[in-house]
């Protein structure tokens, strides 16, 4: 009798085949994603863009494991468990962290803000109010149009940040670097491969080691665009001056080109403080922001104190803010 009852619950041969195929399909799909991420095989579209969603793949990695366990496919379950651990190891550290100290003696504080203003449609009053509220020293604005530049000054930015270097454009190609009076020294401007301006300015801050701020906007990983070349063209950290890169990198920590940039001497401020999974794009849509493509990168010798993201009405990006402690002047 017991044997007859057991047969009622055992899958028939055809059902077992279907169940096995389903299990292995799921396991192979998540395993393939993990391999691409670990080995940095995402070069080119569409894989480069897809890899930005790795945190969600890590979260859903419970699905193949749960299916394999429910169907008692032990080999598949073992592989699924390993994939879950690998993806969690890659993603979870961004949610944990804390402040770091400047190398050597601590010097002055630098407060930096970057905002992509969506083809100039972000509300200028909101950005200027944020600059006031956060007591910003250096501001980087991406997708800065001539009209937006005038509107920002009319809203009070000229009084707050009279030192500036602007490369306004008719579409996404505009950019600007603003600073408080006396905080912007020698300027250097060049275009990245896809046409976005890279604006760098020395910051002659009394009591601080030489430091340079760079307003960054790199190309997105879309079809027909060599987006990696823009990121590769960004300068690495050097002995002097110290560098802070901030803006819209169109990249996340799950893309190898961005990780390679960090390996050249930078710390991602959001991830260092445990906010690396806070998404910054896209806003003002039906769905909430999904991916973290706006960043502040600080030379590893700079202390990291605070980080936050802020909505700008009219823009599809959140602004990113960092408070940093610069090493004291030698």
CATH number at residue 299: 3.60.10.10
In a domain, 101, yes or no: no
pLDDT above 70: residue 10:
no
User: What are residue 176's DSSP bridge partners?
Assistant: 141, 166
At CB < 8 A and 24+ separation, what contacts does 118-122 make? 118/143, 118/314, 118/315, 118/316, 118/317, 119/143, 119/145, 119/171, 119/172, 120/144, 120/145, 120/147, 120/148, 120/174, 121/314, 121/315, 122/148, 122/312, 122/313, 122/314, 122/315
In a domain, 97, yes or no: no
Contacts of residue 85, Cβ cutoff 8 Å, sequence gap at least 6: none
> Are 306 and 243 part of one and the same domain?
yes
Q: The tokens 């579409």 sit on which residue? A: 171
- The total of structural domains in the chain comes to 2
- Calculate helix-pair angle for 13-39, 62-70, nearest 10 degrees: 150
pLDDT digits (tens, 9 = 90+) for 238-259: 888 999 999 999 999 999 999 9
Higher-confidence residue of 275 and 45: namely 275
pLDDT digits (tens, 9 = 90+) for 303-320: 999 999 999 999 999 999
> Are 165 and 282 part of one and the same domain?
yes
> Are 85 and 114 part of one and the same domain?
no
In a domain, 119, yes or no: yes
In a domain, 100, yes or no: no
> Are 82 and 116 part of one and the same domain?
no
pLDDT above 90: residue 1:
no
In a domain, 99, yes or no: no
pLDDT score recorded for residue 14: 57
Least confident of 80-89, 219-228, 292-301: 219-228
> Are 74 and 135 part of one and the same domain?
no
pLDDT score recorded for residue 239: 86
Q: What DSSP designation does 91 have? A: H
In a domain, 57, yes or no: yes
pLDDT score recorded for residue 15: 64
> Are 84 and 113 part of one and the same domain?
no
> Are 142 and 220 part of one and the same domain?
yes
- The β-bridge relationship of strands 294-299 and 242-248 is antiparallel
- Calculate helix-pair angle for 74-91, 62-70, nearest 10 degrees: 160
Do the beta carbons of residue 212 and residue 244 sit within 8 Å? Answer: yes
Can you give the residue range of the structural domain that contains 199? 106-327
Q: What percent of the chain has pLDDT over 90?
A: 87
> Are 68 and 113 part of one and the same domain?
no
Give this prediction's pTM: 0.93
């Amino acid at each position: 009798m017991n044997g007859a009852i057991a047969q009622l619950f055992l899958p028939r041969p055809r059902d077992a085949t279907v169940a096995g195929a389903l299990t292995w399909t799921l396991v192979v799909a998540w395993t393939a994603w993990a391999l691409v991420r670990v080995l940095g095989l995402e070069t080119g579209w569409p894989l480069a863009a897809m890899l930005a969603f790795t945190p969600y793949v890590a979260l859903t990695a419970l699905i193949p494991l749960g299916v394999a366990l429910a169907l008692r496919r032990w080999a598949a379950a073992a592989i699924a468990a390993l994939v879950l651990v690998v993806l969690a190891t890659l993603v979870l550290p961004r949610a944990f962290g804390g402040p770091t100290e400047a190398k050597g003696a601590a010097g002055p504080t630098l407060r930096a803000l970057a905002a992509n203003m969506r083809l100039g449609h972000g509300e200028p009053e909101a950005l200027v109010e944020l600059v006031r509220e956060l007591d910003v020293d250096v501001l980087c604005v991406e997708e800065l149009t001539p009209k937006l530049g005038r509107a920002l000054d009319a809203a009070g930015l000229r009084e707050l940040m009279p030192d500036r270097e602007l490369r306004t454009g008719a579409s996404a190609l505009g950019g600007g670097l603003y600073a408080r009076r006396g905080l912007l020294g020698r300027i250097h401007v060049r275009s990245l491969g896809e046409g976005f301006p890279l604006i760098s300015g020395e910051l002659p801050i009394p009591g601080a080691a030489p430091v340079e701020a760079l307003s960054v906007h790199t190309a997105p990983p879309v079809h027909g665009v060599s987006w990696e070349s823009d990121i590769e063209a960004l300068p690495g950290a050097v002995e002097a001056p110290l560098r802070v890169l901030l803006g819209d990198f169109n990249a996340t920590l799950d893309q190898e080109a961005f990780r390679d940039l960090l390996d050249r001497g930078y710390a991602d401020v959001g991830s260092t403080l445990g906010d690396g999974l806070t998404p910054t794009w896209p806003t003002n849509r039906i769905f909430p922001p999904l991916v973290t493509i706006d960043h502040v990168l600080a030379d590893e010798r700079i202390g990291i104190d605070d980080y936050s993201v802020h909505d700008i009405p009219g823009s599809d990006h959140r602004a990113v803010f960092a408070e940093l402690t610069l090493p004291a002047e030698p």
